[in-house]
Amino acid sequence: MCKRIALTMAACLAVVAIHLTAPNAAFAQAWVPAKGEGSLTTTYQKVDVRDHFDADGDVEDRGRIHTHNLISTFEYGLTDKLALDFELAYVASKFEGRGRRPHGPQDDGFFHPTFSDAHLGLRFNVAAKPLVVTPFFSFTIPTHDYEVRGHSAVGRGFHELVLGVNLGRQLDPVWPRSYAHLRFSYAILKHFQGLNLNHANAEWEVGWLANKVIALRFIGAWQASQGGLEFPLGVMLTPAQFAIHDRVARADYVQLGGGVTFLLNRTFEIHTAYAKTVAAKNTHGDGGIILGFTWRFSRGSSLGRIAGKTRSDNPTTLTPTMF
């Protein structure tokens, strides 16, 4: 009986870690660049999965998943209040199941690198002082008909409309040279197999400019799915459910992390961070490192891009680096 339950859990908990392989670096800014200014960021993420969370949030060790992500992010100020964002991810992932049942044709122990989803969006700033308020909308579009089954799938293959708002504020004079940022969004998907796959997300960031070249940051992320399949312990999936369960899991999670950004000059930045899933249901427990480079074509100073003033008196945060 115990062996059967263990096999059932191994089958049910093959949920794609889509919240890690579909980053949102371009869409987490309350402050918008001035007209004609922007940035180009390249970010590398190494994500490892060991823990699997069931419907009750209990942890099981059901194999390893190793993922390498390369994300390109472009931000451009169309006006002083309207910004265009674009992001594209290239993902290589493999599953080490230790003899367990594979969940897709690519779960063969090898990497299968390919492009995942593209993200295109617009942000419009409606308030600048003291609280910066910037609503946004974006679209998630699969780049091609990639494989969506299995632990090593690079995405879920769904189109999404994302609506949300960014809130930001400098924390002076209570905490000089620091800022806080919150992004809340709601993703709307077409019902799939009769399931509501919409989900609410929040990302937050608190940063402090330690000196002219180093900034420290605390980052976090939360997701609450509105529907989808749940995986309680000991419950068998039907063949039809097993065929789609990687795409339709009712995944909830909380991630926390921290990082450091180095301002090399007024144009280039290097950012590094670590983030990990601390609580979840119906998904994987992810942890990984992040390393990125940002080139800014901006007329503001390095300090101005973090907690000071740019042209238009709008401070901007560092490039977000949550998965």
3-54 pLDDT, tens digit per residue, is 343 333 333 333 333 333 333 444 448 999 999 999 999 999 999 988 788 8
Mean pLDDT estimate for the chain: 82
Tokens (6 digits) for 36: 């004609």
Strands 214-225 and 38-53: unpaired
Three-state SS for 81?
A: coil
CATH number of the structural domain spanning residue 117: 2.40.160.40
Task: Tell me, yes or no, whether 250 lies in a domain.
Answer: yes
Task: Tell me, yes or no, whether 115 lies in a domain.
Answer: yes
Of the ranges 191-200, 272-281, 304-313, which one carries the lowest mean pLDDT score?
304-313
Task: Tell me, yes or no, whether 319 lies in a domain.
Answer: no
Closest CA to 298 of 19, 48, 31, 69: 31
Q: Rounded distance, CA 177 to CA 224, Å?
A: 33
Share of the chain above pLDDT 70, in %: 81
Task: Tell me, yes or no, whether 153 lies in a domain.
Answer: yes
Per-residue pLDDT tens digits for 216-231: 999 999 999 999 988 8
Phi, psi (deg, nearest 5) at residue 20: -100, -35
Q: Per the structure, how many domains does the chain have?
A: 1
Q: How many CA atoms lie within 13 A of 255 on its CB side?
A: 34
Yes or no: say if 285 and 252 are a contact pair by the CB < 8 Å rule: no
Q: Rounded distance, CA 263 to CA 276, Å?
A: 25
Tokens (6 digits) for 238: 């039907």
For the residues 92-118, what does the mean pLDDT come to?
81
Q: What is the sign of the dihedral through the CA atoms of 254, 171, 321 and 314?
A: positive
Task: Tell me, yes or no, whether 146 lies in a domain.
Answer: yes
Per-residue pLDDT tens digits for 259-270: 999 999 888 999
- What is the extent of the structural domain holding 309? 2-313
Yes or no: say if 204 and 181 are a contact pair by the CB < 8 Å rule: yes
Task: Tell me, yes or no, whether 71 lies in a domain.
Answer: yes
How many other β-carbons are positioned within 10 Å of the β-carbon of residue 44? 14
pTM over 0.85? The answer is: no
Q: Rounded distance, CA 141 to CA 322, Å?
A: 20
Task: Tell me, yes or no, whether 318 lies in a domain.
Answer: no
Q: Please give the C-alpha separations between residue 242 and each of 3, 13, 146, 187, in angstroms, as whole numbers.
A: 19, 10, 18, 24
Output the pLDDT for position 153.
Answer: 87
Per-residue pLDDT tens digits for 158-190: 999 999 999 999 998 899 999 999 999 999 999
